[in-house]
Amino acid sequence: MASDQQQAPSSPRDGEDAPIHIEHPKVPLHGNNVKMGTMMGVFVPCLQNILGIIYYIRFSWAWSGKTGIVGMAGIGQSLLLVAFCGSCTFLTTISLSAIATNGAMKGGGPYYLIGRALGPEVGVSIGLCFFLGNAVAGALYVLGAVETFLNAIPAAGIFRDTQTFVMVNGTNVAQPVAVTSPNLHDLQVYGIVVTIILCFIVFGGVKIINRVAPAFLVPVVFSLFCIFIGIFLARKDYPTDGITGLSLKSFRDNWSSAYQKTNNAGVPDPNGKIYWDFNALVGLFFPAVTGIMAGSNRSASLKDTQRSIPVGTLAATVSTSVLYLITVLFFGALATRDKLLTDRLLTATVAWPIPAITYLGIILSTLGAALQSLTGAPRLLAAIANDDILPVLNYFKVGDGNEPHAATLFTAFILISLALATLIYYYVSIKGKAGDWGDGFKSAYFQLALRSLRSLGASQVHPKNWYPIPLIFCRPWGKLPENVPCHPKLADFANCMKKKGRGMSMFVSILDGDYQECAEDAKVACRALSTYIEYKRCEGVAEIVVAPSMSEGFRGIVQTMGLGNLKPNIVVMRYPEIWRRENLTEIPATFVGIINDCIVANKAVVIVKGLDEWPNEYQRQYGTIDLYWIVRDGGLMLLLSQLLLTKESFESCKIQVFCIAEEDSDADELKADVKKFLYDLRMQAEVIVVSMKSWDPQAEHQQEESVEAFASAQERIGAYLGEMKEKARLEGAPLMADGKQVIVNEQQVEKFLYTTLKLNSTILRYSRMAAVVLVSLPPPPLNHPAYFYMEYMDLLVENVPRLLIVRGYRRDVVTLFT
């Protein structure tokens, strides 16, 4: 009897040698045995997957920082690009159709085809990856719909929106513009809700899906008609907005390509990081022609797979490709090139009667694609389970004609669980109270840090592994605003010293007083400083030291701060520009003492002059970064210049290296040597050799303001020296300054003044328009009063608005070897 006969095996592993028995078709006892035809079973799902958000945003400009193909590639190359991408999927569809018409096809779509053709190992491996891809794609489609909805209606956001500032070249000067993007938590909340709703629809079975799918597709088709109506009416509605209507002149102007650079926001920028060419646009546009497997994924629910899959898939592929080609022609003749490159959503601009039609089309097209992905993924998983190759998947088996409810729940659990877990984690981390029981992560981090610290050892780090660990000296020369524990621009500068975004800074401030009396104040100040550097997004730690004076406190810090090779190697502080203006006579001795302590402790020094004018991350700088390389510093000055170029503020600048040579040296040979050295370091810079000739006050190349500053400094030093001599004469003691005996060689003082004068004059002559100047820090001369050294330094930095004074230490920080 037929009911007693063995069922034909459905797995490629089962019963290869078993006899073939003819069997009457069985009717399932339960389930929905609705079968779909070509239109609703293949054509509509493929059309919804192919014709998605890409159509609305990729032909003119971009949404969220990508570019459009017509604006960049022009009409001619855009037609070639669409034809190329469409041909790829068309050929794939031909192959799919050939396999689908080669015999009866059961559930599983591409999995069934590949498994029967290449074997179960390949079939299951690719099938499971394809299942996960469909599940994740459904989540991405949902996020696209939610983000478009929140962009169109920002008031619907539950959490606060985030703003990203981008530089827009709407004029000759780039201006920062705030681009509002939805909050991550809003995307998660709305995404979970929408995914649950779609899962309920999928759970209802094929009959419900067939009823709902047109509700997503019809408004999308209607929005396309509104866009084309708007294109034909554009000349009357937008006469002077860059939209010319269907114009032969615009068609000719936009025929050729106009590839260019854009910034990260997709805005044309000659100094942008992203360059678009034909290959890049292929990668950008190709997702617009994918999605041809949406119909074959439903093979178990089709009446006639051998007819429906080829006809429906080919029809969807050809119709969308023709639509894309027509759209390229229309958009190329619709607007000027500038309009195509600056309108972030041209389809919404021209849509008739209102732009909201386009937003509705984007939302429903992505929801329709999400629905098709969530429909196909469970059926694919059920088909793999039905083949009984992996026992772990037996839970997802379904009978012929039944809905894969278990697989649908599992798919929904993957689109929802990850998002929900992420949302809960962030909510607890932000709103939750800190527990006092600790956690295993902190213990693991601690053990990992100890192991890493021991592996570093205490030996010197090789230059190619050297990282700057700046010690940021927060104690200001003067006063800061209330509740601000560190100069804001000092924190910005600390971020500029990170190598490839990695590194750690140590922010230190000194509290004058007795430790036992000020211990609690120090804890409060440390918490405030830690909060501030976290607010400034600086990777680092905060420390407050209580000491009788700033000099003693710093001396303790420079000796004890850090562990092993994680000790700070660069001391960063602000130049005391206010010392003379506010008559702070104690500053020179403190300043000189700190520099001498750094030299003794073998710490590099970076002193920032013009800190108030230091740019933040949104203020783009142009011009040059000028290095005045006077003494060997281990390459620290070169390294700092390269670090500055990695920041958005200075990425448009060029480096110039000025080598200060003696009058009788061979300038050409020196220039060649420095060029070779920079070439070996793979650093691009222009080398300029400047000879320091004897000082001539009447020479034309001397800067007038430098001469005036020199005369003033000479006068003040003479007065100060006279007071020292008079005091020594009255007390019958040797010359004293800063609490110690000094020997003043007046000729040597004049030499120092002349040298700093000539260097300042050279800087003003060559680098007046530089974005930033780096110059070597001269060490304080022995037996010179600290006041004299401050006069030398003031003369060096006079009239230079933004200056980094750098002193390296007794080791290299750059190397010629990789």
Cα distances from 473 to residues 488, 541, 648, in angstroms, run 13, 12, 25
Q: Is the pLDDT of residue 150 over 60?
A: yes
Mean pLDDT for 644-655 is: 86
From the list 37, 35, 44, 38, the residue with the least C-alpha distance to 291 is 44
pLDDT recorded at residue 351: 87
pLDDT recorded at residue 373: 81
Structure tokens of 794? 């003031």
Q: pLDDT-derived band of residue 694, with 50, 70 and 90 as boundaries?
A: low
Q: Is the pLDDT of residue 164 over 50?
A: no
Cβ-in-10-Å burial (0-12, 13-18, 19+) of 306 comes to middle
DSSP character at residue 805: E
CB 237 within 8 A of CB 314: no
Mean pLDDT for 5-30 is: 39
> Scanning the structure block, which residue is given the tokens 């006469």?
239
Global pTM exceeds 0.85: no
Max avg pLDDT among 8-22, 65-79, 275-289: 275-289
Q: Is the pLDDT of residue 294 over 50?
A: yes
Q: pLDDT-derived band of residue 211, with 50, 70 and 90 as boundaries?
A: confident
pLDDT recorded at residue 88: 92
* Structure confidence by residue, pLDDT tens digits, 67-102: 468 888 899 999 999 999 999 999 989 988 887 777
Lowest mean pLDDT among 398-407, 417-426, 755-764: 417-426
pLDDT recorded at residue 160: 62
CB 404 within 8 A of CB 30: no
> Scanning the structure block, which residue is given the tokens 């820090």?
777
Mean per-residue pLDDT of the chain: 79
Q: Is the pLDDT of residue 117 over 80?
A: no
The proportion of the chain whose per-residue pLDDT surpasses 70, expressed as a percent, equals 82
Q: pLDDT-derived band of residue 316, with 50, 70 and 90 as boundaries?
A: very high
Structure tokens of 338? 């500038």
> Scanning the structure block, which residue is given the tokens 């109506």?
229
* Structure confidence by residue, pLDDT tens digits, 484-534: 888 888 888 887 777 655 678 889 988 888 888 989 999 998 998 888 888
Cα distances from 217 to residues 55, 58, 319, 377, 653, in angstroms, run 14, 20, 15, 20, 51
3-state class (DSSP) for residue 154: helix
pLDDT recorded at residue 20: 34
Mean pLDDT for 264-281 is: 76
pLDDT recorded at residue 23: 38
Q: pLDDT-derived band of residue 165, with 50, 70 and 90 as boundaries?
A: very low
DSSP-derived pairing of the beta strands 686-692 and 654-662: parallel
Cα gap 77→257, rounded to integer Å: 7
* Structure confidence by residue, pLDDT tens digits, 250-263: 899 999 988 888 77
* Structure confidence by residue, pLDDT tens digits, 339-349: 888 776 788 88
The proportion of the chain whose per-residue pLDDT surpasses 90, expressed as a percent, equals 10
Cα four-point dihedral sign 264, 269, 270, 275: positive
Mean pLDDT for 212-227 is: 86
pLDDT recorded at residue 659: 85
Q: pLDDT-derived band of residue 715, with 50, 70 and 90 as boundaries?
A: confident
Lowest mean pLDDT among 84-93, 353-362, 770-779: 353-362
CB 355 within 8 A of CB 349: yes
Cα gap 268→276, rounded to integer Å: 10
Q: Is the pLDDT of residue 726 over 50?
A: yes
* Structure confidence by residue, pLDDT tens digits, 555-584: 988 888 887 778 888 899 999 888 887 778
CB-CB neighbours of 419 under 10 Å: 19
Q: How many helices (H) and strands (E) does the chain have?
A: 25, 16
pLDDT recorded at residue 501: 55
